[in-house]
Amino acid sequence: MAPRYTRLVESLPASVPFVGPETQERERGRPFAARLGANESVFGPSPGAIAAMERAASEVWMYGDAQSHALRTALAAHHGVTPAHIIVGEGIDGLLGYLVRLLIAPGDAVVTSDGAYPTFNYHVTGFGGVLHKVPYRGDHEDPEALLARAAEVDAKLIYLANPDNPMGSWHDAPTLQRMIAQVPEGALLVLDEAYVELAPEGTAPPVVADDPRVIRMRTFSKGHGLAGARVGYAIAAPDLISAFDKIRNHFGMCRISQAGALAALADQDWLHHVRDEVAQARNRIAAIARDNGLAPLPSATNFVAIDCGRDGAFARRVLAGLLERDVFVRMPFVAPQDRCIRVSAGRPQDLDRLAEALPAALAAARSQGS
Amino acid sequence: MAPRYTRLVESLPASVPFVGPETQERERGRPFAARLGANESVFGPSPGAIAAMERAASEVWMYGDAQSHALRTALAAHHGVTPAHIIVGEGIDGLLGYLVRLLIAPGDAVVTSDGAYPTFNYHVTGFGGVLHKVPYRGDHEDPEALLARAAEVDAKLIYLANPDNPMGSWHDAPTLQRMIAQVPEGALLVLDEAYVELAPEGTAPPVVADDPRVIRMRTFSKGHGLAGARVGYAIAAPDLISAFDKIRNHFGMCRISQAGALAALADQDWLHHVRDEVAQARNRIAAIARDNGLAPLPSATNFVAIDCGRDGAFARRVLAGLLERDVFVRMPFVAPQDRCIRVSAGRPQDLDRLAEALPAALAAARSQGS
């Protein structure tokens, strides 16, 4: 007899939000030559962070500090709040899971954009929540539509990423401040700022300690180049932060990762260096797109969405052509955003591979099309 | 207005299963001189594992493989099963959380021993399960009583640790095999074998692939000395293993930790070395106990429970005396096991501190007592 799963678990699909590049490589039987699909930072973390992790490796017989105290203290100083305003967790993905678990019981309403971060949706579905989706508007998430739908369905959570993934678009701080001010009674805005360190100055609204209407999600995976270390954090009112302690995996944070994140935060020069590298890479990706008659979208992130100019089926063929030519990229899941492919910032040699592969991938996509 | 938590979350206590040593050090205002409370392996991980983690540090800009493929493949070979029988997760704690989520809806029955692993209980309570506890029998978890209670309450999960934490006691493989054979229809045995690499040969029953009655939990935190890396795994029938994919944090595994665990598994010589060190440390802890007129319990783990010969209040005073004297130890939470303190295996210099502090801690405990 099989284990008796909960009714909710029985109802869940076996699908996963993302198929990792390693999984794809195993299925293909050969490695990718350019890894430009997961919005990782090929420019790497701060050398200081690498050194800190190397040092921490020999202390890894000790559990990590369950309170991530040193890191939370440094983050609090960085953001002008107190450690009680900050929770550190196993990436934003882990924190989103905990947050959904805190708020969402079967049948509860959640609002997001159609085509926004699938891992958030995965968690909402996983706890029985009901997703209400509003369309993007001009390739931007639409704050007014999100708020209106939230009021309509009495949403407990509203998700918005700024800058947005997968389109790279963004709103400025005043727009976000207006949105926060209008969050309906009983709703909480999940403001996912995974990419905000790479956005223009003035994209992140000021952190307002104790504001009960918003929780800000940040990560060391993108600008700080520590994706494999799994360190995310959230900034929110202390009551909400302390609620995580009721359910989280208290000793879940890798000790080495905590040390790496602490050193990464201290090296803001490296972050500026990465911003420069990313800006150059975005320009190069845009140029490669234009050279092939395609339209790059403006981006405040470490990736560029490239409008392939036709429908989703066409873009999927372009994507397949790039994968065949050993260039790992991804694309939006939902129309009309799925007319694009999404290319992460790479080093010159990575983007050379893209420049080489794209013309052939496009030609193949066109010849296969109807 | 505060976020609208679920009714279940509102009902949960703010308490945490364990207060970490770093938290205690911050509260005390000074560090411990000997860290003997969390059953960590002060002997450290394999030098090969440290080297692998140092190498992985510079690749940490990449997300870890979401399938932990290399590690699962090596573990499968080690245990004579297939990778489809193995799930890797963020420590046994993380895997226990996922397992409880898969099976336990509010009101569902779970059976464990009174005084067994509190983090398991934390997860059960956290998902609304109802815990039914049976007493230890002669400082051992009691398979027959667990099975009987499970049948009585129609339990979905039965928890047993072999060897046991916090007492260090163990059952032999035939006892476990009989227990597995008698798991009631509709129940699943969670066999937590966190310490089994440190137990006498013949403690672990053979792994029977595809047995739907049991899930085995293993970790790199104890014998392998990688507590801070957060790598646990479970062995079970493929159907149950694949169910984890419906809910787990797919990209939750630290890339550095995966590399460390893979190298640790390959270095069985180091594990044998650690077994020897642990055996010596257990003997020394037992000798220190006897020198102070206390009774060490036999142990198949990397810790020794020391019977302080009186009640829980007395043992708590002894514990407090050791903490005051900068020796970090813990103790069982529940009577009658709470007549003991629990001391992790340490290096000679760590146990020197224990030998130094224990007489004074005992004298103070006796003088404070009624």
What does the pLDDT look like over A107-154, one tens digit per residue? 999 999 999 999 999 999 999 999 999 999 999 999 999 999 999 999
- How far, in Å, are B19, B32, B323 from residue B27 at the CA level? 11, 12, 12
Of B5, B66, B257, the CB nearest to A103: B5
Residue range(s) in chain B whose domain bears CATH number 3.90.1150.10 = 17-44+269-368
Which residue in chain B is spatially nearest to A102 when comparing CA positions? B5
Question: Do A242 and B14 meet the contact criterion of CB atoms below 8 Å apart?
Answer: yes
- How many alpha carbons fall within 13 Å on the CB side of residue B368? 15
Q: Answer whether A321 touches B (CB < 8 Å).
A: no
Of B57, B93, B251, the CB nearest to A252: B93
pLDDT of residue A15: 73
The DSSP symbol for A254 reads -
pLDDT of residue B370: 55
Of A6, A57, A90, the CB nearest to B105: A6
Which residue in chain A is spatially nearest to B124 when comparing CA positions? A247
Question: Closest Cα of chain B to A309: distance in Å?
Answer: 31
Q: Which residue has the tokens 């690749």?
A: B59
Give CA–CA dist B203/B157, Å, rounded: 22
pLDDT of residue B123: 98
CB B230 to CB A93 under 8 A? Answer: no
CATH architecture of B55-266: 3-Layer(aba) Sandwich (3.40)
Question: Closest Cα of chain B to A133: distance in Å?
Answer: 20
Q: Which residues of chain A are modeled with pLDDT < 50?
A: none
How many beta-carbon pairs under 8 angstroms link A with B? 270
Residue range(s) in chain A whose domain bears CATH number 3.40.640.10 = 47-266
Chain A from 145 to 184: CB within 8 A of any B CB: 156
Q: Residue B348's closest CA among B270, B286, B271, B280?
A: B280
Q: Answer whether B58 touches A (CB < 8 Å).
A: yes
What does the pLDDT look like over B117-154, one tens digit per residue? 999 999 999 999 999 999 999 999 999 999 999 999 99
CB B227 to CB A94 under 8 A? Answer: no
Taking the CA atoms of residue B258, residue B263, residue B269 and residue B275 in that order, the dihedral angle to the nearest 10 degrees is -20
Dihedral angle sign, alpha carbons of residues A116, A117, A122, A123: negative
pLDDT of residue B14: 78
Residues B159-182 have a mean pLDDT of 98
DSSP code per residue over A78-135: HHTS-GGGEEEESHHHHHHHHHHHHH--TT-EEEEETTS-HHHHHHHHHTT-EEEEE-
What does the pLDDT look like over B11-49, one tens digit per residue? 998 777 789 999 999 999 999 999 999 999 999 999 999
**What's the CA angle centered on A222, arms A217 and A224, to 5 degrees?**
100
> What is the third-level CATH fold of A47-266?
Aspartate Aminotransferase; domain 2 (3.40.640)
Average pLDDT, chain B: 97
Interface test mutation site (partner B, options A60, A95, A183, A248, max chain B beta carbons within 10 A): A60
CB B245 to CB A14 under 8 A? Answer: yes
> What is the third-level CATH fold of A19-44+269-368?
Aspartate Aminotransferase, domain 1 (3.90.1150)
Residues B168-182 have a mean pLDDT of 98
Residue range(s) in chain B whose domain bears CATH number 3.40.640.10 = 55-266
Which residue in chain A is spatially nearest to B154 when comparing CA positions? A4
Residue range(s) in chain A whose domain bears CATH number 3.90.1150.10 = 19-44+269-368
Whether the per-residue pLDDT at B1 is higher than 90: the answer is: no
CATH architecture of B17-44+269-368: Alpha-Beta Complex (3.90)
Give CA–CA dist A1/B281, Å, rounded: 44
What does the pLDDT look like over B51-81, one tens digit per residue? 999 999 999 999 999 999 999 999 999 999 9
Which residue in chain B is spatially nearest to A240 when comparing CA positions? B3
Q: Answer whether A35 touches B (CB < 8 Å).
A: yes
Give CA–CA dist B199/B302, Å, rounded: 9
Which residue in chain A is spatially nearest to B54 when comparing CA positions? A54
Give CA–CA dist B266/B263, Å, rounded: 5
State the ipTM, two decimals. Answer: 0.97
What does the pLDDT look like over B297-321, one tens digit per residue? 999 999 999 999 999 999 999 999 9
